[in-house]
Structure 1
Amino acid sequence: VLGLKFPNLFGRAEKVTFQFSYGTKETSYGLSFFKPQPGNFERNFSVNLYKVTGQFPWSSLRETDRGISTEFNFPVWKTNHTLKWEGVWRELGCLARTASFSVREESGHSLKSSLSHAMVIDSRNSSILPRQGALLKINQELAGYTGGDVRFLKEDFEFQLNKQLLWDSVIFKRYFGSWSEEVNNGWFYLGGPTSVRGFSMYSIGPQSEGDYLGGEAYWAGGLHLYTPLPFRPGQGGFGDLFRTHFFLNAGNLCNLNYGDGPKAHLQKLAEYIRWSYGTGIVLRLGNIARLELNYCFPMGVQSGDRICDGVQFGAGIRFL
């Protein structure tokens, strides 16, 4: 990762940032301009230019996105809001000659122009490994009505509740839910070390010839218990970055028939629930990210699902 920052460029707290990153499966670079309102840093405006190239072996896809986005962030009482417009030129290709016909149908170029709104209420004391507080995030995205050839309406929400117990233990509940209509290149995916643990990365739900295609709706929930390491080694220092982790995850992903109505949709989402449980160790990397090493027991496995029965490693910012 290579980054350059030019803070306070014009003397009014503006910031210009350039970042380049190279990885085995993703390469990206971007240029952004950030401008806060004088005297109110939480009310700000930003413009971003970027290019991202990534590989998605679970779907046999290679994707290149070239885009521009503008964001306006502002607080309203105890909530924070983000209004965003994004224009993306998306190119999809096959990773292998063995890619399924369904994946080949999605290949090619497309243009997405979307408007989105996000509302966040966050009282957590940490975004990576909180000990107390709650989070509610609701997001809507509408594409196709401001140009482009991709059309969809997406709704998703996230709720998280953290409660500190005796002996420095924390119980943690988290729920996700999303649905989309008239999807084109806007699928949801489920499964993996940061999602429903015990399953391989994004390897739950509809598939074709071994390629996972995603779905139009999903839900996922998790119940976790975090405790200090046994016998508290390194207490007051490096040992406090580690936590013992016990978890129970569940979720489902599917496609919907929008002529059936909400009751039929809920029934379909309640069918063939995948779930897992296990234990492991969590390492907090400051307020940047966290690492997990878990021993997982996947349950409710359906035909075609790929599982990770046993040790599973995960790294990221956002976990179920």
Structure 2
Amino acid sequence: MPKTTRTVREQAKVDLSKIPAQVERVNVSGLLRTHNDYVMKAAEGLFKARNFEDVMIESMNAKSYLHELGIFKDVQVRIDISKDANASPNGYEVTLKGHELSRLVGSVGTEVGQNEGSLRTELSIPNLFGRGESISLQGSYATTRTNELQLKFWKSFFHTRFVENRPEISFSLFRHVDRMDVSLFQNSNLGFIADFSWNSLLPLELTHSVQYEASIRELSLLAKQVPFPIREHCGPKLASLVRYSVIYDQRDNPVFPTQGIMLKSVNEYCGLGGNLAYMSTTTHGEISVPLFAGLVAQVCGRLGLVKETKNTTLLPISSLFYCGGPLTLRGFRFGGAGPVVETTSIGAQTNWSMGLHLWGPLPFNHVFKGLANNFRTHLFYNFGGFNTFTTENMRSAYGVGLAFKLAERARIELNYCIPIRKYATDKPVNGFQFGIGYEFV
């Protein structure tokens, strides 16, 4: 390389952290319906900058913050020398130019649920009153089990001093239909949910949610010949409950993690009114450890428990746990490894399952380059039981398969399963089994 070319390149390298700079003015343009106080927090970090590198970093942080507020579809940043008459020699002016979302926004797309896909439509009015309030009408139609219609109002408080805690409130009117072909019934919920969610940073980074739900639940039959233990749940019931969920997630990837821990717990107390009463808890855990040559060892577990309260006359069958399925106990159909009455699954009060996994990249993955990152090979051993924490009712299976990542949220698994421990009343899958979802055991 010629000496002159090298000299020019060396001179072109500038250490921005050594260039003194001070932001004297911040402009946020493009505000049509939004109140000024809702975006003021975007400027706080900019006024603390002491060099040009800080100015650039804080400008990108301000742009990201404005996107999070949910009022702009696009934000542009411009940094210029301060033109104020009393401007200092190192003074700068930052302009954040946003384009507000339309008054009415619609979308149509697909969504992945637990072993089902759905068509989802949404019509929303963003930034309703000028401080991030939004209202939406959402509808989803699933391929197998659930259909839902929801009218939701929500508001975030990211513009307050609690921005790091991400507080948000929402109120929803909903109608939810869950079809349980394995138990020959359908459950329809019509009700109201109030939700408050936030993040806590100390001593651990946790995501919390507290909900109050009041709903009318009506169970109807899908066939003429249905066992009495299911028939006795028919008819409308009034439920009034409090639900608390907490999530700790330190994985490096939610779909194919190579390291990290995830813990999730959902707890319900039903019985604040109405004629349904129970307590339930569901806990899911996952630990991933990197090995060598791209291999990852993973341990997953799930525990579910529903109990009677003093006011309980009959535990609702829709709140019981169904054992088996490609997302929990591979090698068995959904509900195919639990208690039955007259060959019909009826659910269990307790359910536990664990999975031991070995994940690996595709063979010759360097040939496929970026495409291969969406695939993983899979060796697994699953076991679980119900209504007891001993091995008395335990089922187990092992197998090998291939998994494919859907965006950054869900995955598809195609596994060849071999059940090891099964009973005469079970519905095993000895061969290929397909699973799609976002939370597997």
Displacement of 1:44: 1.1
Q: Any runs of at least 4 consecutive aligned residues in structure 1 with deviations exceeding 6 A, and if so which?
A: none
- Cα distance change, pair 276–32 in 1 and its aligned pair in 2 (3 A): same
* Structure 2 residue aligned with 1:13: 132
More helix by share: 2
Q: Select which of 135, 146, 151 maps to 2:277.
A: 151
Deviations 1:161-211 (A, max 9, x none): 111221122211111112111132321111111110000012222111121
- Cα distance change, pair 240–234 in 1 and its aligned pair in 2 (3 A): farther
User: Where does the alignment leave 5 or more consecutive residues of structure 2 unmatched?
Assistant: 1-119, 309-314
Hey, what's the Cα distance between the residues in 2 that align with 1:75 and 1:130?
Answer: 22
Hey, what's the Cα distance between the residues in 1 that align with 2:440 and 2:352?
Answer: 14
Question: 5 Å matches for 1:1-320?
Answer: 1-25=120-144, 26-37=146-157, 38-39=159-160, 40=163, 42-76=166-200, 77=202, 78-144=205-271, 146-182=272-308, 183-185=315-317, 186-232=319-365, 235-254=368-387, 266=389, 269-320=390-441
**What is the DSSP-based 3-state SS (H/G/I as helix, E as strand, rest coil) of the residue aligned with 1:189?**
coil
Displacement of 1:8: 2.6
Hey, what's the Cα distance between the residues in 2 that align with 1:233 and 1:62?
Answer: 48
The residue type equivalent to 2:266 in the other structure is N
Deviations 1:94-131 (A, max 9, x none): 11112112111111111111112122211112222222
- Cα distance change, pair 163–8 in 1 and its aligned pair in 2 (3 A): farther
Question: Are 1:234 and 1:240, in contact at CA under 8 Å, matched by a contact in 2?
Answer: no
Hey, what's the Cα distance between the residues in 2 that align with 1:227 and 1:6?
Answer: 44
Hey, what's the Cα distance between the residues in 2 that align with 1:199 and 1:179?
Answer: 21
Deviations 1:3-54 (A, max 9, x none): 2233333222233232212234332211222211133262111112211223
User: Where does the alignment leave 5 or more consecutive residues of structure 1 unmatched?
Assistant: 255-264
Hey, what's the Cα distance between the residues in 1 that align with 2:137 and 2:153?
Answer: 9
More strand by share: 1
**Larger RCO (alpha carbons 8 Å, 6+ apart):** 1
- Cα distance change, pair 127–17 in 1 and its aligned pair in 2 (3 A): farther
Task: Give the fraction of aligned pairs with identical amino acids, expressed as a percent.
Answer: 32
RMSD: 1.6
Hey, what's the Cα distance between the residues in 1 that align with 2:182 and 2:217?
Answer: 19
Displacement of 1:233: 5.8
- Cα distance change, pair 316–234 in 1 and its aligned pair in 2 (3 A): farther
Size of the aligned set, in residue pairs, is 307
Hey, what's the Cα distance between the residues in 2 that align with 1:60 and 1:245?
Answer: 34
Hey, what's the Cα distance between the residues in 1 that align with 2:211 and 2:409?
Answer: 24
Displacement of 1:227: 0.6
